[in-house]
Structure 1
Amino acid sequence: MKELMNKMPELLKLHKNKVLAGAAALLIIIVAVVLSRCKGDQIADGSPTAKVTRGNMVISVLQSGELVPRTSKDIINQVSGNAKIVYIVEHGAEVTNGQLLVELESTDLEERFLQQQQAVTTAEADLRLAEEELEITKLQHASDKQSAELKVELAEMALVKYVEAEYPQQENVANSDIKLAEQELEQARSELEGTQELYDKGYANLQDLRSAQFNVDRREITVENKKADLEILQKYTSIESGKELTNNVSSAKSELERLIKSYEAEMSRSDARISAQRTNLEIERSQLATRERELINTKTYADFEGQVFYPNTSNNRRQPQIETGASVDYRQKILSFPNLSSWNLKVGVPEALVEKISKGQEALATVEALSGFLLKGRISQVSAVPDNQDFLSTGVKTYTIIIEVDSVVSDKLKPGMSTKVEIVTDRLENVLQVPIQAVVSKGNDHYVYVINRKRKELRPVGIGKSNSQFIEVISGLKEGEEILLYAEVEAEKDARLDKTPLEEAGKSGAGDSAEPHSSVPPTMPRGEDFPGEYGDGFGGYGGGAPMGGAPRGFDGAGGPPNGGFGGGTPGRMPGAGQGRAGNE
């Protein structure tokens, strides 16, 4: 214990030295961090900068388009089904009146034409047969009807004859017979009385008397029979005969009526059969005319003079390219004879931008194949529905707009030429503006790096409309202030804005080549200013990239180590992949 107390001063001195050493090390670390922070806020010499300016801005939409004639005469395939091209003039060829333009395969059509001719011949024969059968039916009916009408007439005459002639005559005969029999009876009775007197006087014998009595009895029976005959005639025979004759009349009339109705039904069937045969013949003749027309349409001749062009089928995967040997669909356009004195621009505008487009807006366009050739015009049509073909091929809904180009005369313009079209959607006057690459965004917040005494300050700003180069500043900046370009690159280096993993992945895009180093901001290629179509990623670090970085889609190369990110205008596709390291 005593020994420990003796060593205590030495231990305290050692502890004090260690504390001082630790404090000194901590101080060195703090100073290093502060110096590092101060050094991080400094900007490197030659960093690209720009001034906040005030002026006018043109807000526009930049899209690819196609040059199309305003009016044209189209050569359409008029052959049904698929038809193979066996000959076609060259694309852009000068043709003369009467020249063969296109010829389609006709072997199958010729065979179908001959088959259809046979079908027409058969249909004509069927119609003639039906019409002849109808005439025979009419003649037979006329004969049968005449016979039936005669039977009715004879039956009626027989009835009238019996009622008005035969029966009265029979009745008169019967009455006459009765009267005659009564007279004969009266005479026989007189003779009997005379014979009786003679018998009583002895002048006649018994046999004479009996004979006279027998004669009276016979005459009485005859009278009774004649009266019975009359009664039978009146009560039975006349009624029976009348009914029979009346029935004969009814039967004859019924037969006539049945014959008439049967004829009417047969005529209806015959008319329907003939009508069907006529319709069938018309159909067969129409099909024959169609076959003949299709056969004629396999060859198309020019009725004009000028240039003809193939249609552009690159945007329609269901239609093959027009060429010899290709098959074309019915009603598909094969050739076009355009009026080369007036033009339109056909542009597909993405769904996100179509609300900015309206009829009457002005547009400028350059023709990719003609350097320095500028077209001007205004929007004349805006489609109300999206283009299905574009959606099927790209998955992006686009709306077709038509721009009428102002009068321009040039034999260099050709249908289908690719164009770059800029549609002016708004004009801003006297507004603050900065280059679009000077603004970095986080959610709905926007920032710029303001330079103050060679130090950068991350400052929030309010922004308005933008075009492909500049963005309107509503608040946060003053005219003349100096700002850093490629603000998003600086923000990533400083890590002052928190980013999600998805955002980090979106910033890793890179291209393949580098721009030379320059302290002057390079001219940025234009890009469309709508969401979703263009990516937000920038090129990777690329050790040795130029100080100003490279436009999007390029690797840094040839600059000092640890150069900045690429900061060009938005590229066509979202940034993806790590940029290749640049050379020191």
Structure 2
Amino acid sequence: MKKLKLALLILIPLLILVALGASIVNGQKAAQVKQQEDLLKTNVTKVTKGDVAIKVVETGSLEALTTVEVKSQVGGRVAKLLVDEGDYVEEGDLIAVIDPQQTELQVDQNRAQLDGAVSSVRRLDVEIAQRRVTAKTNLERSRLRVKQLEAELKAQPQLTNANVRSAQTAVANAQKSYDLLVKVTQPNAKTQSENAKEDAENNLRNANIENDRQKGLFEKGYVSKREVEQAQLNLELAQTRSKQAREALQRLDNEQRLEREQQQERIKQTQADLDRAKANSIVDVTKRQDYESAIQTLRDAEVALRDVDSLIEQKRGSQANVSQIQSSLNDSLRLLGETEVRAPISGIVTRRFVQQGELVNALSSFSAGSPIVKVEDRSKMFVRLQINEIDVARLSEEMDSTVTVDALPGSNFSGRVTKIAPAQIENAAGVGGDPVVKYEVEVTLDRVSDKLKSGMSAKCEMTPKKALGVLRIPLAFLGEDGKGTFVMLYDAKEKPKPGKMGAPPTLEGNKQYVEVGVRDLAFVEITKGVSEGQELVRPPFDGPERKGMMQFGDGDEDEEESAEGENSSEQSAE
């Protein structure tokens, strides 16, 4: 019995060891089979037909195409507020009323100012008419007076100078005549008269002597009585001639004295004429002064007429003031109408900024104004996106897009790209602060739903390029070298080569260069080099040698299959 127990104690452990060894051997064989299956599953694929599409997917926010913050052009207290958030308003509906009291006061002030300005223009019209008539009359009179004096002033100096020269000539001639008379004519005549007197006296003495001699001779009887009588007759004749000569000399003295007096009177007369002619030059000075005075009067008349022109300019300024006040009045009347705030568009009131009774600022060029309500026209909506520079280069306006809204699962909306910003978004930054160049893109929905609201998150999917029903392979099975792109054709007869240092075994294939087309994140189109159904092996890794053992999981193919249905917004196209 003891031997049996001892044998059992020895046999049972041996049986356990044998069973354990067999289990280990079977487990190793199963692991090798599983490893080979995994190797084929993850490193071998087939060339299939399918779609390859480049997609740009980005999420943004929904916005109404037309959104208006309704403001008032009149500041003041909100007297009435007739809408609330969520109300639908038609274009032109009354939204609010601003207290018009202050605006009405401004209208009254502008009207009073306008009446005063119009009255001022009318007064200027009357004054201009009166002063124009007076100024024109004075100007015409002054011109006639200047013209008359100008003619007189032009003729008078010539006449005065001629008279002076004539008088001077007359004075000179009279003086010459007097000098000739006194120095030549009268002395010659007196000399002749004195000579005649002296001859007569000599003849008288000779006649006396002859008469006495004849009387003596007669007494002596030497001559006859007749000769004595003849001598007496000659004596009497000589006496008569002597008397006549004396009387002629006396008469000549009287005549010459009278001639001298007459000539002196003539000199005085011509001198008086000269003095009068010279005195007339003083009249020329007076006429010159009158002419200059008339010129000044003419200038004053012209200035007076120009003053009328200045009044006309003043009237124009007053008329401009009237126009300005009229414009202010029109603006005040317009603002009075603006106290009734009406909806500029049809839409939904999405926000109310003020309450009834609050004060609002007016919208102007100096102030942004206080918003009263916000109205959105949701008949057209769009999604605002921010897309990186690589993907935005693939987009174009009018490109179709599929839009899904997170708040409405299962509802898809069609849309199109309607705007691509020409410049990047300022201060766009990615993870870690690295700058990312992004551009704003708008996608407008073709139709809208009442359930869509501004601010909802929406995902837009655009397909810039796609190839349908083409030969394709997973991107992981495409290799590149200096000669081009290639694939590794799989040979089923080839056995896997064991890995080094405990690494999994690897498969090797035959290199085949191919031509490719469209590629996305998961697949690439093969246009030449392989045919449908051919099996391919992953190309060998040609990167830097890694330290340690590479671990291969079972999820590579699953990841490829999941990537087939999704593309990120950062894809590259050949």
TM-score (norm 2): 0.50
* Alignment match of 1:472 (pick from 506, 524, 541): 524
Deviation at 1:426, TM superposition (A): 0.7
> Residue type matched to 1:364 in 2?
T
Q: Aligned to 1:370, which of 386, 391, 408?
A: 408
The answer as to whether partners of 1:60 and 1:424 remain within 8 angstroms in 2 is: yes
Distance 2:108 2:428 in 1: 45
Q: Which residue of 1 is the match for residue 54 of structure 2?
A: 59
Classify the secondary structure of the residue corresponding to 2:393.
helix
Structure 1 Cα separation of the partners of residues 51 and 79 of structure 2: 56
Aligned to 2:295: 253
Deviations 1:260-289 (A, max 9, x none): 15643x456545554445445544554554
Separation of aligned partners in 2, 1:127 and 1:414: 57
Residue 229, structure 1, aligned to residue 220, structure 2: no
User: In 2, distance between residues paired with 1:267 and 1:140?
Assistant: 7
Report the secondary structure of 2:423's partner residue.
Answer: coil
Aligned to 1:150: 141
User: Is residue 2:341 matched to residue 1:300?
Assistant: yes
Cα RMSD, aligned residues only? 6.4
Count of residues paired in the alignment: 408
SS at match of 2:301: helix
1:129-528 matches, within 5 Å, as: 129=120, 132=123, 136=127, 139-140=130-131, 142-144=133-135, 146-147=137-138, 149-151=140-142, 153-154=144-145, 157=148, 225-234=268-277, 236-261=278-303, 263-264=305-306, 266=307, 269-279=310-320, 282-283=323-324, 285-287=326-328, 289-290=330-331, 293-294=334-335, 296-297=337-338, 299-302=340-343, 307-309=348-350, 330=368, 340-387=378-425, 397-406=437-446, 408=447, 410-429=449-468, 430-434=470-474, 455=504, 467=520, 470-472=522-524, 528=568
Residues of 1 paired with 2:388 and 2:60: CA distance?
12
State how far apart, in whole Å, the 2-side matches of 1:88 and 1:433 are: 65
Q: Which moved more, 1:48-57 or 1:469-478?
A: 469-478
Deviations 1:435-461, CA, capped at 9 Å, x for gaps: 89x9999xxx9999x9x9794759999
Paired with 2:301 and 2:138, the residues of 1 have a C-alpha distance of: 10
The Cα of 1:55 is off from its aligned counterpart by 1.7
Cα contact 2:404–2:460 (8 A) shared by 1: yes
> What is the CA distance between 1:56 and its match in structure 2?
0.8
Contact 1:155 1:245 in 2 (8 A): no
Q: CA deviation at 1:252?
A: 1.0
**1:371: how far off?**
1.6
Question: Is the partner of 1:353 in helix, strand or coil?
Answer: helix
Bigger mean CA offset, 242-251 vs 353-362: 242-251
Structure 1 pair 271/292, CA: closer, same or farther in 2 (3 Å)? same
Any idea what SS the aligned residue of 2:397 has? coil
Report the counterpart of residue 193 of structure 1 in structure 2. none
For the structure 1 residues 482 and 279, does the alpha-carbon distance in structure 2 shift closer, same or farther, using more than 3 Å as the test? farther
Amino acid at match of 1:229: A
CA contact (8 A) 1:48 1:520 kept: no
Aligned-partner Cα distance in 1 for 2:340–2:125: 45
Distance 1:431 1:281 in 2: 84
| 1:403 alignment partner, SS class | strand
CA–CA distance in 1 between the matches of 2:37 and 2:78? 68
Amino acid at match of 2:50: G
- State the alpha-carbon separation in 2 of the partners of residues 493 and 89 from structure 1: 73
Is the alpha carbon distance of 1:138 and 1:331 closer, same or farther for their aligned partners in structure 2, counting shifts above 3 Å?
A: same
The structural deviation recorded for 1:367 is: 1.8
User: Which of 77, 80, 93 is 2:71 aligned to?
Assistant: 77
Which residue type is aligned with residue 358 of structure 1? Answer: S
**Deviation of the 1:377 alpha carbon:** 3.0
CA contact (8 A) 1:73 1:337 kept: yes
Q: For the structure 1 residues 133 and 157, does the alpha-carbon distance in structure 2 shift closer, same or farther, using more than 3 Å as the test? A: same
State the secondary structure of the residue aligned to 1:385: strand
* Structure 1 unpaired stretches of 5+: 1-34, 179-199, 201-212, 311-320, 498-516, 533-584
Contact 2:60 2:458 in 1 (8 A): yes
Q: Identify, as 1 or 2, the structure richer in helix.
A: 2
**Deviation for aligned residue 1:66:** 3.9
Identity of paired residues, percent? 16
Once residues 296 and 264 of structure 2 are traced to their aligned partners in structure 1, the CA distance between those partners, rounded to angstroms, is: 47
Query: How far apart, CA to CA, are the structure 1 residues paired with 2:81 and 2:334?
Result: 19
**Contact 1:361-1:379 at 8 Å conserved across structures:** yes
> Contact conserved, 2:53 with 2:518, CA < 8 A, in 1?
no
* Compared CA separation, residues 432 and 388, structure 1 to 2 (3 A): same
Letter in 2 for 1:382: I
Q: Which structure is richer in relative contact order (CA contacts within 8 A, separation 6 or more)?
A: 2
TM-score (ref. length: structure 1): 0.49
Q: Which runs of 5+ in 2 are unaligned?
A: 1-27, 171-242, 244-255, 499-503
Structure with higher Rg: it is 2
Distance 1:244 1:496 in 2: 133
C-alpha distance 133-356 of structure 1, shift in aligned 2 (>3 A): same
**Superposed CA offset, 1:95-135 (max 9, x none):** 3576432567989xx47x85697578558756865774686
- Describe the shift of the 1:76–1:96 C-alpha distance in structure 2 as closer, same or farther (beyond 3 A): closer
